[in-house]
Structure 1
Amino acid sequence: MRVFIFGIGGTGSRVLRSLAMLMASGVKFDNPSLEVVPVIIDMDAHNGDTARTREVFRNYYAIRKTFIDPGATSRTDTFFNTKIKSFSRLEAGSTDAADIDLQFDFQNNNDTFAKFVNYNGLSQVNKDVLELMYNDSANDQDFPELYLNLTVGFKGNPNIGSVVFNDLKNSQQFKNLESSFTDQDRVFIISSIFGGTGSSGFPTLVNLIRQSKNPNLARAKLGAITVMPYFNVDSNEGSAINSSLFNTKTKAALSYYANDDAISSINALYYIADHNQSGTLPNVEGGREQINNGHVVELLAASAAIDFIGKADIELEENRCYEFGVEGDINPMNISHFSLPTKEQLIGPMIRFAYAAQIATKMIPQLTDNTFYKAKELNIAAAMGIPNEYHKLLTFFEEFKQWSAEEMSSADNGRAFQSFNFRDPEHLNNLVIGKEIKTSWLSKGLSLKKVAEHLNSIETSEPKDLAVPLKYMNMLYKTANECLTALGQLP
């Protein structure tokens, strides 16, 4: 089963990044044939959030190819267990991480909106209609819609985005999707509805799917997460982005969706928002400089995709709406504020991955005298003979640490999520915020020495003929699992 997951706009890209982190942590699904096909749809081709997410998935693919058994499935006890596939190569097998390209290729994305609709080639009557519908001021301070440069997206203008997105049906990539989509495949759409890209792209994409000439796509099991306002941006009179209008735009979008037959046909529609928006993020209209911190709302939005993938077909026969709830309106949040099912399905794997990330990046470099480290066993000093791939793994671990412990805990987000403490390289006893492992003169808990004992013991128990990269990942997973067991009941 393939699940095409479309992330529309900046929020869509950031939620996809959170999804990559959850899949890397080894979140399980019941379907062993699952393949996730991530797709980013954003007119702003050079957006910083988009570029970061694309790199995360490329590293994911390269790591899985090198460190994970080829026979591993989404039911396997390991990290990076879920297969991903490139949207640009649906028919062919990707052989290199560079082939994993998530970006939907928009045509004419270097034009103004006027050029996109061929304004100069229209009759005077049609020009007059366009000028009535869109601001055609020659003054940039008036944020003229008709002459908006599309290279940085729609700047909060869904009335422009809906026109541009409707052209997706003529793209080769959408035609490839139509031609290859089977009755076993599914679609999930991620979008915000308080800007321009997501609120226009979401209903347009749903309509294109439901009106497809391929009956498998037209009748596909379809899920979506509608992300409502969850952050504010700095006030800037020179910017077209104004967070004081986010709620107004959200109400307008919801009002439109309520009367849209295609939206009503969605099998599982998830909603999420956060009224706690006390902090502010930098006001960047787009381009390479738009790189927002990870946010707990994006993590929870990614969990909606996981919930949808896990639903049996019979659960999707009746169209339903879902919301995410936590144990109290608390800021900052920590792991204790999630329900038990969420802890078991998502938080547990995240904690295991956090242990592995700290062991790989901070502890193993201190254990060069241990047996497992040496050339006869793993030869970590020589990067196991795969320096590029080993570097990508460490880079992924570092990004996970930054995303989970630094970005999501920022007060600028409005609602902070305090999950992990990676500051101590000598032990793991206080890595999980809210649940410290007790120590005494008899037991030092998850000390550097204890971690070394686990690594040495697990290395000797692994098959002698197992490829070194696979052995290394097994050791990380099993050692991290021992740490999770030592932690005991989650807070």
Structure 2
Amino acid sequence: MKKIYAIGVGGSGSKCLESVISLHSLGFYGQDTVLGVLLVDADASNGNSQRTNILLDRTIKAHDTFKNGSTQLFKSELINYGNWNPLADVSNATNLEGIFNKPALQYQTPALGKLFDALYSPEEQVADLGVGFRGRPPIGSIVMSRLELEIARGPGGGARNGWQRLYASIQDDLGAGNNQVIVHFFGSIFGGTGASGIPTLAKLLANQLTDQGLRANVRINASLLLPYFGFEKPDDGNQTVYAETRFFALNTQAALQYLTEQAHGSFDRIYLIGDHDKKQYRSFTGGTNQRNDAHFVELYAGLAINHGFQNFGNHGESKGSYISRTSSERLIWDDLPDADQTWQQLSQGVKFAYAWLYNFSLELQDAKPLGSSNFAKGAPWFQYYFSLRGGEDGKPDVSSNDEVERNKILTFWSYYFLVWIEQISTSHRGVGIWFRLPKLDATTVSKEFNPDAPRPYHERLDELVIDENRPLDCLDSIKNDLADQKLSNQCGVIGLAHNLFQLLGGSN
């Protein structure tokens, strides 16, 4: 069994986890794989993290509901280790002045007090870190450096934070003989939280494993994001400490220098991923408004996990890998790692989610008021999955609470999956690069997608995938196939979903 621990550090790290979660739901990392997810951020209200949490929650529900189907869809286990705020473990204070007790520092060790003033401006010392480290690696580094080994290990009893529970799971995996355990960090190295948190946490983890004689059995990899977006000064009133695009190159240089000189033994494999064509986002100093669209760089970051497994046996020194694209003008399928597999599985997932959201989920809703027998007259496939006589034939009633709830769970997942992949597909100069999809309203914290709201029917799938030539790919023919060749003995929404997924992907 393969075990992946994906740790997203900071806002960009949480966005990478959107890609990891979505790929895992399609079985991209293999059926015999367990994915554990941990979000690390000092900004508990970060909009990027909250959106990832919504996707994670909806995907876990889909995995729990559809995991016993006949295809790789939702087959592999997905575990949520929650959100960990390292700032809360360091101090009850939320600014540098309070965390380091500046008055006591100046009184007890005047020299350190002067050094503190030399390193951090008065504004930085009192800036509220409850909204993150404000794109300033020096702020994040001094806070993260206070994470002592005993704090990370946690107490022998009582409540554990997400990091402690994740580490306990790693120990259990190794004790059970799981010999392919990968911890993969995600985050930017040009901002505050990722640049300071990933090296610190990786070193902390490596030291813990080394102390227990376990380091050789675990691979610690990282997808580190180079600058790939920019923004203007945030319109946040009188804020004086905030992330600034002009410092991104300097932050990146410092982070890479640190990794080169200080990170030996912490990482087995590092992936540096960026884009010279910077995407422009609106800027906010943390909070729920900091919610940026998904970007193809984050997809590349998630795809790196498989490369780590392919090179699992290469242990002993830190390594770097790189990939380039054919043209700076556009991205094509061949530019992706493992292009054939990635194209096949993403295309299958997009067609399935699109077909379910815009057709099958609506069909099942329509069947309820019409009655199963009447609805089946115009939908021959229906009788192979649902009862026409109130469950008397051993098949479930489409109107039952269980079937209605399963339809909603899958509709929720389809919506959020399509939101993610549509944003990925238009992140390069606003032009579709792999898929042509309708723009969906991205989820906000206060307004979630309503699966019962009216939406249009769609039948055609042939134009969804760019550079794919399947002119007859439409749902009418797929429905005929569902009626002609039932691919498993499963009935209800679960059986329908897996058979549809299989038909849309050939033999998968």
1:360-392 CA distances to partner (integer Å, 9 max, x unpaired)? 111222585313436417768537624444323
1:272–1:297 contact (8 Å) kept in structure 2: yes
Give the equivalent residue in structure 1 for 2:52: 53
CA–CA distance in structure 1, aligned partners of residues 96 and 431 of structure 2: 38
Asked whether the equivalents of residues 381 and 483 of structure 2 are also in contact (C-alpha less than 8 Å), the reply is yes
CA contact (8 A) 2:228 2:275 kept: yes
1:376 aligns to 2:393 (yes or no): no
SS of residue paired to 1:122? helix
1:192 aligns with 2:225: no
SS of the counterpart of 2:313? helix
Aligned to 2:339: 343
The residue correspondences of 1:3-402 to structure 2 (distance < 5 A) are 3-29=4-30, 32=32, 34-69=33-68, 77-87=71-81, 101-104=82-85, 106-107=87-88, 108=91, 111-124=94-107, 125=110, 126-136=112-122, 144-168=123-147, 169=149, 170-171=151-152, 172=154, 173=161, 174-182=163-171, 183=174, 184=179, 185-212=181-208, 213-217=211-215, 220-236=218-234, 240-260=242-262, 262-263=263-264, 265-277=266-278, 279-308=279-308, 310-331=309-330, 333-335=331-333, 337-338=334-335, 342-364=338-360, 365-366=362-363, 368=367, 369=375, 370-373=379-382, 375-376=386-387, 382=399, 385-402=402-419
- Determine the C-alpha separation between the residues in 2 that align with 1:234 and 1:471: 50
State how far apart, in whole Å, the 2-side matches of 1:231 and 1:376 are: 52
Q: Is 1-10 or 110-119 further displaced after alignment?
A: 110-119
Q: CA deviation at 1:9?
A: 0.4
- Confirm or deny: 8 A CA contact 1:66 1:469 kept in the other structure: no
Structure 1 CA distance for aligned equivalents of residues 92 and 35 of structure 2: 27
The answer (yes or no) to whether the contact 2:93–2:99 under 8 Å persists in 1 is no
Is 1:453 matched up with 2:451?
A: no
TM-score, normalised relative to structure 1: 0.81
CA distance in 1: counterparts of 2:463 and 2:117, whole angstroms: 61
Q: How much has 1:132 moved relative to structure 2?
A: 1.7
Which sits farther off after the overlay, 344-353 or 385-394? 385-394
- Report the 3-state secondary structure (helix = DSSP H, G, I; strand = E; otherwise coil) of the residue aligned with 2:434: coil
Amino acid at match of 1:348: Q
Distance 1:427 1:175, change over 3 A: closer
Question: Per the alignment, do residues 417 and 19 of structure 1 end up closer, same or farther by CA in structure 2, a change over 3 Å counting?
Answer: farther
Give the % identical residues: 22
The C-alpha deviation readout for 1:210-256, integer Å capped at 9, x for no partner, is: 22133325863211111100111124485622112211211121122
In the TM superposition, what are the counterparts of 1:472-487 in structure 2 within 5 Å?
Answer: 472-482=496-506
Task: Give the distance between the partners of 1:3 and 1:425, measured in 2 at CA.
Answer: 37
String of CA shifts for 1:391-428, please: whole Å, max 9, x gaps.
232121112212212x22446x6575522224581211
Q: Tell me the SS of whatever aligns to 2:399.
A: helix
1:81 and 1:295, CA in 2 relative to 1: closer, same or farther beyond 3 A? same
TM-superposed CA distance for 1:3, in Å, is 2.2
**What stretches of structure 2 of length at least 5 have no aligned partner?**
155-160, 368-374, 389-394, 439-456
| Separation in structure 2 between the aligned mates of residue 311 and residue 205 of structure 1, nearest angstrom | 24
Q: 1:273, 1:297 within 8 Å by CA — same for their partners in 2?
A: yes
Contact 1:269 1:322 in 2 (8 A): yes
> 2:387 corresponds to which letter in structure 1?
K
Q: Aligned-pair distance for 1:282?
A: 0.3
1:323: how far off? Answer: 1.2
Q: Which runs of 5+ in 1 are unaligned?
A: 88-100, 137-143, 439-444, 486-491
Change in Cα spacing, 1:477 to 1:113, as seen in structure 2 (3 Å) is same
Cα deviation code 1:132-187 (max 9, x no counterpart): 22111xxxxxxx11112111100011112112223444143344444453343331
The aligned amino acid for 1:47 is N
Q: Alignment partner of 1:398: what SS?
A: helix
Aligned AA (1:209):
L
Q: Which amino acid aligns with 2:104?
A: G
Shift of 1:109: 6.5
State the match for 1:420 in structure 2.
435
Task: Provide the secondary structure at the position in 2 that maps to 1:269.
Answer: strand
1:471 aligns with 2:495: yes
**Structure 1 counterpart of 2:463, which letter?**
N
Under a length normalisation based on structure 2, what TM-score does the superposition of the two structures give?
A: 0.79
How far residue 22 of structure 1 moved from its aligned partner, in angstroms, is: 1.0
CA distance in 2 between counterparts of 1:303 and 1:267 reads 17
**Compared with structure 1, are the counterparts of its residues 387 and 151 closer, same or farther at alpha carbon in structure 2 (3 Å cutoff)?**
farther
Bigger drift between 419-428 and 187-196 goes to 419-428
Q: Distance in 1 between matches of 2:87 and 2:407?
A: 34
Change (3 A) 1:344 1:434: closer
Partner of 1:97: none
> Following the alignment from structure 2 to structure 1, what is the Cα–Cα distance between the partners of residues 96 and 290?
22
Cα distance in structure 1, aligned partners of 2:266 and 2:432: 34
The one-character-per-residue Cα deviations of 1:11-53 (angstroms, maximum 9, x if unpaired) are 10000001111111221438x2x32111111100110110111
Q: Root-mean-square deviation (CA), in Å? A: 2.8
Relative to 1, partners in 2 of residues 1:211 and 1:415: Cα closer, same or farther, differing over 3 Å? farther
The aligned counterpart of 1:435 is: 468
SS in 2 for 1:191: strand
Q: Determine helix, strand or coil for the equivalent of 2:253.
A: helix
